[in-house]
């Protein structure tokens, strides 16, 4: 396993981690100042800061980019036709390209309307079929501009409203179907929060291998977890075997950064500088 | 598929559904009065009412029993040795026998101490190994008295604190290992709340077949779900494809009752009679 203690170049901060405290330019500045290796920004943050300005700031600070969040949500857009779903995802691909991201992370979507408590239907099989078609169509465009797509399986508790791909196995089955040659154009982002419980996690990580492991995200699973969305833990505060999972990912050939992504009302309520410093300390000690 | 509309004999009430409103004798009485076919009582409720008195009431009312909740929690008991874990589970088997239950439902347990927020360790692989050993040892006793054990895979969001068997596939792998001859001594309880999201649910139900499908539980998955434990929905209020899943279970050969099990602060706050009548109405219309 790689030694992380002295090397922040392998740390990436998903910018959602301090999104409530700082705007994107200030997040990038605070990360760069600390020597953090990379960031993974979100579309709404980039939109607020301006795409060109963000791309310029990233170039000028020399900070890396571990990914771009996020494309996907295919079934919701499907209501207006596959064309609409694709149009938005093509834009996301272009933005990812503009900021120099190595991949576009896909949160694929689920039952349309469920996110606002009004699901249009209950047919998860239909949602999964639309997701498959949406990824296939987006992949065609993404290939043409050289932007890899990273399917992120979400925790099953988010299967109705956010992503109906809920296991690494399911995500890899889609990769096999759409990119059987393992060209690197389609892969997965493995987030411990979503996958730690999976009895087939080790098998899935090995199966993904270096060609399909496009991202590795960490936080922690708290006991108790008080909210299905915004109660993720700081690394070390929960029960995820972080070093064990990183060992699996690295044994499979992953050489990219470790991205910290914490959605947490608790940590959003603390000063950004404290959150970032805590992430660095935990990255060095428990990740 | 079986026609449920006119036949409450196929309805079972898990007694946790109205546990906050009524003591067990009153629940059994209210169910029997409505012509509900069966109940599935919990150990603490039986203990409060008395085992002999409960067994007698069940006999006298003529109501059926769809299962007994619950054995398991092996890793927690393991702290005091496998013997302690087994002793409590043997008692549960005996109680199940006394009330005439067709199976003892196993909620297998997970990281010891996690349920109180103080996990003794994070090694889910170890917990799973202890669960396997615990089931194996309990099975030996359960076989000797003729009490089938039903492993209930719980939702992955409960994988740290309540049950580290979180997929039907995992549960069936254990069945294959411990009862390869499919004698009926070991099987599964399929609860839609825990399994609806699983892309391999249909495959798993077919694989289980009549010999291993020992229970079928329903409620619904709400969007949004506000609590990881006590926000289950009344059938029809969420996004689970209830008729589709029952169709799968029945196509696989399941002929037992449909058990309603709702942990819900919302429904616990309503009068028990209203809850039971609503369960009956929904059983007839959407299950």
- pLDDT for res A165: 98
CA distance A29 to A13: 12
Burial class for B1, CB neighbours closer than 10 Å (0-12, 13-18, 19+): exposed
* Neighboring chain A residues of B157 at a CB cutoff of 8 Å: 155-157, 225, 228
pTM here is: 0.97
Cα separation, B82 vs B141, in Å, equals: 14
CA separation for the pair A178, A185 (Å, rounded): 10
Mark yes or no for CB contact A156/B198 under 8 Å.
yes
The reply to whether residue B156 touches residue A156, judged by beta carbons under 8 angstroms, is: yes
Which residues pair with residue B105 across a beta bridge? B69, B150
State the fold for domain B8-285: TIM Barrel (3.20.20)
To the nearest whole Å, the CA of B114 is away from the closest chain A CA by 6
In a structure prediction context, what are the per-residue pLDDT tens digits for chain A, which is 287 residues long? 999 988 899 999 999 999 999 999 999 999 999 999 999 999 999 999 999 999 999 999 999 999 999 999 999 777 677 787 789 999 999 999 999 999 999 999 999 999 999 999 999 999 999 999 999 999 999 999 999 999 999 999 999 999 999 999 999 999 999 999 999 999 999 999 999 999 999 999 999 999 999 999 999 999 999 999 999 999 999 999 999 999 999 999 999 999 999 999 999 999 999 999 999 999 999 99
| DSSP bridge pairs for A72 | A107
pLDDT of B23 higher than 80: yes
Structure confidence by residue, pLDDT tens digits, A192-233 = 999 999 999 999 999 999 999 999 999 999 999 999 999 999
β partners of residue A151: A106, A188
Residues B161 and B116: beta-carbon distance below 8 Å: no
Q: What rounded mean pLDDT belongs to chain B?
A: 97
Region B121-148: mean pLDDT is 96
Cβ–Cβ contact B19 with A under 8 A = no
| Inter-chain residue contact A167 with B117, CB threshold 8 Å | no
Dihedral in degrees, nearest 10, Cα atoms B150, B151, B152, B154: 170
CB contact under 8 A, B224 and A111: no
Nearest chain A residue to B111, by CA:
A239
Which of A112, A118, A124, A286 is the best residue to mutate to test the B interface, defined by the most B CB atoms within 10 Å of its own CB?
Answer: A124
Interface subset of B 86-115, CB within 8 angstroms of A: 111, 114-115
A269/A239 Cα distance (integer angstroms):
22
Q: In chain B, pLDDT over 70 holds for what percent of residues?
A: 100
Q: What angle do CA A197, A221, A258 make, to 5 degrees?
A: 90
Residue B25 at interface with chain A, using a CB cutoff of 8 Å: no
Q: Which residue has the higher pLDDT, A78 or B69?
A: B69
Residue of chain B with shortest Cα separation from A125: B199
The answer to whether A243 faces chain B, any CB pair under 8 Å, is: no
Contact between chains at B199 and A170 (C-beta distance less than 8 A): yes
Residues 6+ apart with CB under 8 A from A57: A25, A28, A29, A49
The total number of residues written for chain A in this structure: 287
> Which residues on B lie below 8 Å from A119 (Cβ)?
223, 239
Cis preceding-peptide flag for A224 (omega within 30 of 0): yes
Architecture of domain A8-262: Alpha-Beta Barrel (3.20)
Instruction: Provide the shortest C-alpha distance from residue A127 to chain B (in Å).
Output: 12
DSSP string, A94-130: HHHHHTT-S-EEEE-B-STTGGGT--S---HHHHHHH
Domain boundaries, chain A: 8-262
* Per-residue pLDDT tens digits for B240-282: 999 999 999 999 999 999 999 999 999 999 999 999 999 999 9
Tell if the CB–CB gap between A223 and B124 is shorter than 8 Å.
no
- In A171-264, the DSSP E strands lie at 186-191, 213-218, 258-260
Mark yes or no for CB contact A124/B160 under 8 Å: no
pLDDT at B76: 80
Residues of A in contact with B240 (CB under 8 A): 122
Q: How big is chain A by its Cα radius of gyration, in Å?
A: 18
H helices of chain B, where? 24-34, 43-49, 51-61, 74-78, 82-98, 124-145, 168-178, 192-195, 201-212, 242-251, 265-268, 272-285
- Which residues are paired to B217 by β-bridges? B191, B259
Report yes or no: B155 at the A interface, CB cutoff 8 Å: yes
H or E element: which one contains A15? none
What integer pLDDT is reported at residue B80 of this predicted model? 72
Is B170 near chain A, with CB under 8 Å?
yes
Q: What is the pLDDT of residues B137-195, one digit of tens each?
A: 999 999 999 999 999 999 999 999 999 999 999 999 999 999 999 999 999 999 999 99
> What does the pLDDT read at residue B84?
79
pLDDT for A76 equals: 79
B160 and A198 in contact by Cβ < 8 A? no
| Residues from chain A contacting residue B196 (CB–CB below 8 Å) | 124
Please name the residue of chain B whose CA is at the shortest distance from the CA of residue A123: B241
> Is the four-CA dihedral A93, A95, A100, A102 of positive or negative sign?
negative
């Amino acid at each position: 396993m790689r030694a992380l203690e002295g090397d922040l170049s392998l740390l990436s901060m998903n910018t959602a981690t301090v999104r409530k405290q700082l705007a994107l330019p200030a997040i990038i500045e605070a990360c760069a100042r600390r020597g953090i290796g990379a960031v993974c920004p979100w579309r709404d943050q980039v939109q607020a800061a301006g795409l060109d300005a963000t791309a310029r700031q990233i170039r000028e600070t020399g900070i890396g980019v571990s990914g771009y969040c996020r494309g996907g949500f295919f079934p919701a857009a499907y209501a207006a036709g596959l064309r609409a779903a694709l149009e938005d995802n093509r834009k996301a691909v272009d933005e990812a390209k503009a900021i120099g991201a190595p991949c576009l992370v896909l949160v694929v979507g689920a039952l349309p309307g469920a996110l606002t408590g009004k699901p249009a239907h209950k047919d998860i099989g239909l949602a999964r079929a639309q997701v498959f078609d949406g990824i296939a169509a987006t992949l065609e465009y993404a290939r043409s501009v050289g932007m890899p797509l990273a399917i992120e399986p979400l925790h099953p508790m988010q299967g109705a409203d956010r992503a109906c791909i809920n296991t690494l196995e399911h995500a890899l089955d889609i990769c096999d179907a759409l990119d059987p040659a393992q060209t690197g154009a389609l892969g997965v982002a493995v987030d411990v929060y979503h996958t730690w419980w999976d009895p087939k996690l080790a098998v899935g990580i090995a199966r993904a291998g270096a060609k399909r492991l496009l991202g590795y995200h960490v936080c922690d699973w708290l006991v108790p977890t008080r909210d299905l969305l915004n109660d993720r833990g700081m690394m070390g505060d929960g029960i995820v075997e972080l070093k064990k999972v990183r060992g699996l990912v690295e044994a499979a050939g992953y050489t990219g950064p470790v991205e910290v992504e914490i959605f947490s009302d608790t940590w959003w309520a603390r000063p950004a500088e404290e959150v970032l410093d805590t992430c660095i300390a935990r990255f060095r000690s428990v990740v």
